[in-house]
Amino acid sequence: MRFGIAVLPGDGIGPEVTTEGIKVLQAVGDRFGHHFDLHYGVVGGVAIDETGEALSPDTLRMCRGCDAVLLGAVGGPKWDDPKADVHPEDGLLALRKGLELFANLRPVKVFSALVDGTNLKPEVIKGVDLIFVRELTGGLYFARPKKQWRTSKGRRATDSMTYSEQEIERIVRVGFELARGRGKRLVSVDKANVLQSSRLWRQVAVEVADKYPDVELEHMLVDACAMRLIQNPTYFDVLVTENMFGDILTDEASMLAGSMGMLSSASLAGVPGEGTDTFGMYEPIHGSAPRRAGLDMANPIASILSVAMMLRYSFGLIKEAQSIECAVDEVLQRGYRTYDIMSEGKTKVGTKEMGDLIAGKVEG
């Protein structure tokens, strides 16, 4: 089969990890007989430098013309001035909104080879296999108004959290669909003891639950959820939550997998499993790590696993996706580690070598 992919490497370590993701994608193409047409574009700080905008209309159009988007990371100290008119992150938000990628899937799975390699007790994290469904185009991130202003008593600023029932319904449905294909347990995370938007969220979740009698729905307050994730992470199967809560909880949850460098994500424009393959954007959950850029140090596994998610959700290539996940597992079993997941007695490798090792293990 033939697929068109927009590749937006972005800033910092983005280009390095994306190169390895593409290397593994090409290995899949060779072994399984698929062809991937790559269309490169700029987003984030590099786009600001080139065009004055974090995402140009041309790049957005190019993405729309493809079957999926692979993104590296955006941001860096060069573009950090809070007073600047445009920030690299604006490019990412414009992609999410412009491509209507409302459903952000962030799986957190602990590879058995890494169970001893984290700050947490092995018995607590062994067997963790959960997935977050984060709402991605609403809430505080896209608040209206979103501004700072001066008053006679000093400066003020606002971003308020707004959700419509339609926005809640479609994201909660993604949670139920995923839960149906997995452990049949969905935790809906909110702050319904304080926020009106969360009370609506909870009501809509209960209404949607009617259509999924086979899935058990539980509501959990976001603060309690933050605690539970560390205390007893194997408790969770699928979690669904609004944009900002999901942003924070997924960084927390990444520590269960040993490093941010291990976590991939899919941002989808539809409910997976409904209709045909869904358009999506795939990216590591980590940032651009400017201090590590250009040193051949960064862990490319998040980008490589993001490619696997692309094969699974946008192209319906399940066997191919599994071949990548197995290759990652095997390379870790053999003791290869980038600096962020390094532990005593293991073999330290750089970004490129990790990519080569994984690409070499992809089997058709």
Task: Find the shortest distance in angstroms from Cβ 161 to ligand IPM.
Answer: 15
Minimum CB separation from Mg ion for residue 129, in Å? Answer: 21
* Catalytic hit among 247, 282, 313, 361: 247
In angstroms, the CA 1 to CA 318 distance is: 14
Q: Where in 237-266 is the site for Mg ion (CB under 5 A)?
A: 247
Tell me the closest approach of the beta carbon of residue 319 to ligand IPM, in angstroms.
29
| 247: contact with ligand IPM by CB under 6 A | yes
Residue 177 binds which of ligand IPM, Mg ion, none (CB < 5-8 A, kind-dependent): none
3-class SS shares of the chain: helix, strand, coil, % to 5: 45, 20, 35
**CB of residue 103 to ligand IPM, shortest distance in Å:** 13
Could you tell me the two tokens for 30?
């060779």
CB within 8 Å of 200: residues ≥ 6 apart: 163, 165, 168
Cis peptide before 145 (omega within 30 of 0): yes
Separation CA 186–CA 249 (nearest Å): 16
Task: Give the nearest distance from C-beta 245 to ligand IPM in angstroms.
Answer: 12
**Nearer to ligand IPM among residue 104 and residue 314 (C-beta):** 104
- Start-to-end CA distance of the chain, whole Å, equals 15
Q: Which DSSP category does 273 fall into?
A: T
Which of these, 106, 104, 105, 110, lies nearest to 234 by C-alpha position? 110
Name the active-site residue from 251, 296, 329, 356. 251
Contact 17, 259 (CB under 8 A): no
Q: For residues 249 and 301, which CB has a smaller minimum distance to Mg ion in the complex?
A: 249
Active site (annotated) includes residue 214: no
How far apart CA 304 and CA 45 sit, in angstroms, is 23
The reply to whether 223 belongs to the active site is yes
Q: What's at 286, amino acid-wise?
A: H
Contact 251, 261 (CB under 8 A): no
Interface size with Mg ion, residues (CB under 5 A): 1
Q: Which of 11, 141, 190, 277 is catalytic?
A: 141
Q: Of ligand IPM, Mg ion, none, which one sits near residue 11, judging by CB under 5 to 8 A according to partner kind?
A: none
Distance, in Å, from the CA atom of 53 to the CA atom of 87, rounded to the nearest integer, reads 9
Residue 224's identity, in one-letter code, is A
d(CA 238, CA 215): 11
Q: Is 54 in the site for ligand IPM (CB under 6 A)?
A: no
Sites for ligand IPM among residues 279-298 (CB under 6 A)? 285, 287
- Show the site string, 77-96: x = touches ligand IPM by CB under 6 A, - = not: ------------x--x----
Structure tokens given for 214: 């086979």
Binding partner at 362 among Mg ion, ligand IPM, none, C-beta below 5 to 8 Å by kind: none
Q: Does 13 bind ligand IPM (CB under 6 A)?
A: no
For residue 23, indicate whether it is catalytic.
no
CA distance 355 to 340: 15
Closest residue to Mg ion, judged by C-beta, is 247
* 329 classed as catalytic: no
Smallest gap from residue 89 Cβ to ligand IPM (A): 4
Q: Which does 353 bind (CB under 5 to 8 A by kind): Mg ion, ligand IPM, none?
A: none
In terms of CB distance, is 257 or 285 closer to ligand IPM?
Answer: 285
Size of interface with ligand IPM, in residues (CB under 6 A): 5
Question: And the tokens for 283?
Answer: 């990216």
89 binds, among Mg ion, ligand IPM, none (CB under 5 to 8 A by kind): ligand IPM
Joined together, the tokens standing for residue 116 give 């001893």
Does residue 247 have an active-site annotation?
Answer: yes
Q: What are phi and psi of 334, to 5 degrees?
A: -80, 0
Contact 357, 277 (CB under 8 A): no
Is residue 320 near ligand IPM by the rule CB under 6 A?
Answer: no
Provide the binding-site residues for Mg ion, judged by CB under 5 A: 247
Provide the binding-site residues for ligand IPM, judged by CB under 6 A: 89, 92, 247, 285, 287
Question: Active-site residue numbers?
Answer: 141, 191, 223, 247, 251
